[in-house]
Amino acid sequence: MKFMAVLTFGLRTLAPLLLLALFLLSAFSSSLVHAQPATIIVGSEPYGIAYDSAKGELFVANHNSGWVSVISDSTNAATASVPVGSEPFGITYDSAKGKVFVSNYGANSVSVISDSTNAIVATVKGLNGPQSLAYDSAKGEVFVATPGPVTSPTSTVSVISDSTLGSGATPTASTTSSTTSTSSQSIVTATGPASSSATSVASSTGSSSSLPLSYLGLVAIHAALLLALGGLAASGRKTRKTVSGRPQ
């Protein structure tokens, strides 16, 4: 009788603790699942990305596709694509002019996209393998790293002025190195298909299909606790039946 009383007391003590553990595990695993990031389908090999705070959009340079994806930050969906030059690499946002600058490594150029129309409004040509870009809001200039191709690397940075964008005049860019400065390069207004309106593209959002190992481990622990709790409940019922069946 004494042993059965101790066993019954132990079962009654452990059951609430197991229930509490199950509750905490359920709450934690639920938050872990909800923390899975959304997946947005864009072009092949996305490299550079820039945020347009005025429009609430992100622009992604798809290196292997030759176009830029436009993503809405309110829906996390790609809403448009803008054809640019070959092998787009870097990208930066000009907040003063509402323009997005994209370096086209394979085309030796920089495309200028209007964030109001998602269309190319100008193209900077003659740059030597442009890659990374940075915007200087105080000077209204875009700095472009132009290391050149791997076979003949250089040590230059090109500077593009946005002062005449939208005025109808031709903006200029200059290329500087550690020792010399070359003559200005012209920016020509885009013509042909590249300057047409952006075309819509399909996109998909949602949780990642693969679950992390940590979550699977929590599920396993959750199941083990449920089995243990079920075993304790069954043992308790058996104990009570045995005790009640003995003669007084």
Is the Cβ–Cβ distance between 185 and 68 less than 8 Å?
no
Is the Cβ–Cβ distance between 121 and 115 less than 8 Å?
no
3-state percent breakdown (helix, strand, coil) of the chain, nearest 5? 30, 35, 40
pLDDT at 67 over 70: yes
Please give the pLDDT value at position 39.
Answer: 84
Please give the pLDDT value at position 28.
Answer: 62
In CATH, 46-195 is 2.130.10.10:
yes
Which residues, other chains included, contact 182 with Cβ-Cβ below 8 Å and sequence gap of 6+?
A: 174, 175, 176
With cut-offs at 50, 70 and 90, classify the pLDDT of residue 133: very high
Query: Rounded to whole angstroms, how far apart are CA atoms 29 and 19?
Result: 15
Is the Cβ–Cβ distance between 25 and 224 less than 8 Å?
no
Query: Rounded to whole angstroms, how far apart are CA atoms 238 and 152?
Result: 84
Residue whose C-alpha is closest to residue 71's, from 94, 50, 99: 50
Please give the pLDDT value at position 193.
Answer: 36
Secondary structure E strands in the chain: 46-52, 57-62, 67-72, 77-83, 88-94, 99-104, 109-114, 119-125, 133-136, 141-146, 156-161, 172-177, 185-188
Rounded to the nearest 5 degrees, what angle is found at the Cα of 88, between the Cα atoms of 124 and 86? 80
Enter the pTM of the model: 0.60
Please name the helix (run of DSSP H) or strand (run of DSSP E) that holds residue 118, with its range, or none: none
Is the Cβ–Cβ distance between 132 and 89 less than 8 Å?
yes
Amino acid (1-letter code) at residue 20? L
Instruction: Provide the percentage of residues in the chain whose pLDDT is more than 90.
Output: 36
Instruction: Provide the percentage of residues in the chain whose pLDDT is more than 70.
Output: 51
**Both ends of the chain: CA-CA distance in Å?**
11
User: What are the pLDDT digits (tens) for 6-29?
Assistant: 555 555 666 666 666 666 666 666
